[in-house]
Amino acid sequence: MPAPEPIEVLPVTFFEQPVLAARLTEGTIVLSIRDLCAATGLNLASQLRRLRADEDLRDGLHRLRVLTAGGMQEQDFLILEFIPAWISSVNRRRASPVVQERLRYLRLFSIRQVYDAIAVAAGLPPGPSRNIEDLGDLQQYDTAIEGIAARQQALEESQGKARQAWSDHEQRIRRLEEQLSMTAVLSVTQRGHIYQLVQRWAQARTEREGIAVSAAFAGCWAAIKTRYRVAKYEHIPASDYQDCVSYISKAYTALTGEPLVDDQGRT
């Protein structure tokens, strides 16, 4: 059976590079594992094996059929809520110094936040464990863990809460769209077009220059952000859209000797 198609897709910057985000039919948001691995210097195949072997994280895996540089293809995605638990526990040695530091802080933040949540549920003071004066109070910590696990199970079984979460997502998206519409930046369609063109450009660099996939993508996106002096590619002014398309196309042609077109025949 072919993988389902998402109802919505949009490239969004994570860890300095655009990552394809998608929405499932029931509203859940997922991120492309391939793009996340490219952004953080991780090996895609080994990370997929790791995720599938993890009895908890594998619950967040979804395989979707999406438009890529090579046409409609199946890709692996991970539910947004699962991203911090996975990405903060990976080997970050191959990531750029900026991403390494960000992953380190994310892991430390996750550790502290989980501890504080349990401590508060147990009626204990959050923050360093030295704030707990009586070791006997630690029994409350174990009781709190049991309570949190029970509440999580109830949450997963509650369809009403799921529908409310979906409604909240829609409202947040509408607010974000209203904010974006007030600024003259790339539209959703323009962002998707540039994303597809960069996919082809990076693949060509990998094949012809013999560099790693992650390095090719990082180099392409870095060149674009430097050219337009933006921290994220979605901040490129809409007025520079045609220039950006032309820039990518010329770079691709200079590398391959062939014109650059996406899967819809656009240059």
- Residue-wise pLDDT tens digits, 78-92: 999 999 889 888 887
60 assigned to some structural domain:
yes
Higher-confidence position of 67 and 222: 222
Write down the pLDDT at residue 118. Answer: 87
From the CB of residue 4, how many other CB atoms can be counted at a distance below 10 Å?
A: 13
pTM for the whole structure: 0.68
Number of domains in the chain: 3
CA distance 244 to 225: 10
In this model, does residue 167 exceed pLDDT 60?
A: yes
What are φ and ψ of residue 262, in 5° steps?
Answer: -90, -175
Q: What's the pLDDT band for 164 if we cut at 50, 70, 90?
A: low
User: What mean pLDDT value characterizes the chain?
Assistant: 84
Q: What is the dihedral of CA 241, 243, 246, 252, to 10 degrees?
A: -90
Domain boundary among 147, 181, 215: 181
In this model, does residue 173 exceed pLDDT 70?
A: no
Helix (H, G, I), strand (E, B) or coil at 99: helix
In our burial notation (b when 16+ CB lie closer than 10 A, e otherwise), range 76-86 reads bbbbeebbebb
Write down the pLDDT at residue 161. Answer: 58
CA distance 241 to 263: 18
> By C-alpha distance, which of 195, 206, 182, 180 is closest to 244?
195
In this model, does residue 147 exceed pLDDT 60?
A: yes
217 assigned to some structural domain:
yes
For the residues 57-69, what does the mean pLDDT come to? 89
- CB–CB of 45/33 below 8 Å? no
Which structural domain range is residue 209 located in?
188-256
* Residue type (1 letter), 238: A
**Residues 172 and 241 occupy one common structural domain:** no
Residues 6+ apart with CB under 8 A from 202: 213, 216, 217, 219, 220
Write down the pLDDT at residue 265. Answer: 56
**Residues 31 and 80 occupy one common structural domain:** yes
Write down the pLDDT at residue 45. Answer: 92
In this model, does residue 59 exceed pLDDT 80?
A: yes
**Residues 103 and 157 occupy one common structural domain:** yes
